[in-house]
Structure 1
Amino acid sequence: MKTLYQLFLAFNSTWLIAVVFLVKEKYKFNFLNEFPTYYSWVIFVLIPIILTAFSFLIAMRLPKDRLQSSSVKEIELANNNFLPTYLGYFFVSLGVNDVPTLVVVFMMIYVFTFLSQTLYFNPIFLLFGYHFYFIKTSGSVKIFLITRRQLKTPGENGFEKLRRINNYTFIEL
């Protein structure tokens, strides 16, 4: 289940590249030919949002874990750390001129995202009220935490309902 979820998270994290390309190229669904093009664009944007919502249901099946408040030594907000990466993705997708090139670029980024298996930053999580944090533990291990809570002070909060995505990435549902 963990590997399936990791594949799914990597896909959700990189799919916005295709959305930007499809909107740029003014693609539209055939069944919406009678409607303005932006109807298709709305669906293109809704697809990753719906898939991200679905990822929360899948996450319920991941292994449970916890982190004691006494073992949290540092908290660093990571929401903004990934903005340059996503801006790069968007600029790449704007520079792609055809579908075969998009497929190759998407697959390369997808594979690298999956194989890195350290962070699964998906900007759509922000729409669902989640935040991203780097947490340094008392054992000097730096983990990536996805949670709805606003964290400020180390040792103030324990995490009893974590789900382990991999050894360094957790989501609190």
Structure 2
Amino acid sequence: MKYLYQLFLAFNSTWLIVVVYLVKEKYEFIFLDEYHTYYSWILFVAIPIILSALSFLIARNLPKDSLQNNSVLEIELANNNFLPTYLGYFFVSLGIEDISTLIVVFTIIYVFTFLSQTLYFNPIFLLFGYHFYFIKTSRNIKIFLITRKQLKAPSENGFEKLRRINNYTFIEL
């Protein structure tokens, strides 16, 4: 289950490249009525939002874990660290000229995102109120945490309802 969830998270994290390309190229669903272009764009954007929401439900099946108050040494907000990466993705998708190039570029980015398995940053999680943090533990291990909490002081935060995505990435539901 954990392996499939990692594949799913990597897909959700990179799918916006395809969305930007489809909107740029004015792709549309034929079955929609006279405003099909705009409805298609809404649907293109809705798909990754729905898939991201689904990822929270699937995460409930991941292995449980916890992190005690006294084991958190440092907290660093990571929300803004990924903005350059996603801006790069958007500029790449705007520069892609055809669908075959999109498939190759998406596949390469997807494979590298999956194989890195250190971070599963999905900007759509921000829409659901989640934040991304780097947490340094008392064992001097830096983990990536996805949570709705606003973290400030290390000693004030314990995490009892974590789900382990991999050895360095956790989500709190």
Q: TM-score, normalised by structure 2?
A: 0.99
Q: Distance in 1 between matches of 2:68 and 2:23?
A: 45
2:155 corresponding residue in structure 1? 155
Q: Distance in 2 between matches of 1:78 and 1:89?
A: 18
1:27 corresponding residue in structure 2? 27
TM superposition shift of 1:33: 5.2
For residue 57 of structure 1, what is the amino acid of its counterpart?
Answer: L
Question: Where do residues 1-173 of structure 1 align in structure 2 (5 Å cutoff)?
Answer: 1-32=1-32, 34-173=34-173
- For residues 121-148 of structure 1, the C-alpha deviation after alignment (integer angstroms, 9 at most, x for no partner) is 0000000000000000011000000000
- For residues 4-32 of structure 1, the C-alpha deviation after alignment (integer angstroms, 9 at most, x for no partner) is 00000000000000000000000001112
- RMSD between superposed Cα atoms in Å: 0.7
The total of aligned residue pairs comes to 173
Counterpart secondary structure, 2:155: coil
Counterpart secondary structure, 2:28: coil
TM superposition shift of 1:119: 0.0
- For residues 50-100 of structure 1, the C-alpha deviation after alignment (integer angstroms, 9 at most, x for no partner) is 000000000000000000010000000000000000000000000000000
Q: Distance in 2 between matches of 1:14 and 1:64?
A: 26
For residue 56 of structure 1, what is the amino acid of its counterpart?
Answer: F
Q: TM-score, normalised by structure 1?
A: 0.99
Q: Distance in 2 between matches of 1:29 and 1:133?
A: 38
* Residues 30 and 36, structure 2, Cα contact 8 Å, conserved in 1: no
Between 1:31-40 and 1:82-91, the stretch displaced more is 31-40
Contiguous gaps of at least 5 residues in structure 1: none
Percent identity between the aligned chains? 82
For residue 87 of structure 1, what is the amino acid of its counterpart?
Answer: L
Q: Distance in 1 between matches of 2:155 and 2:142?
A: 15
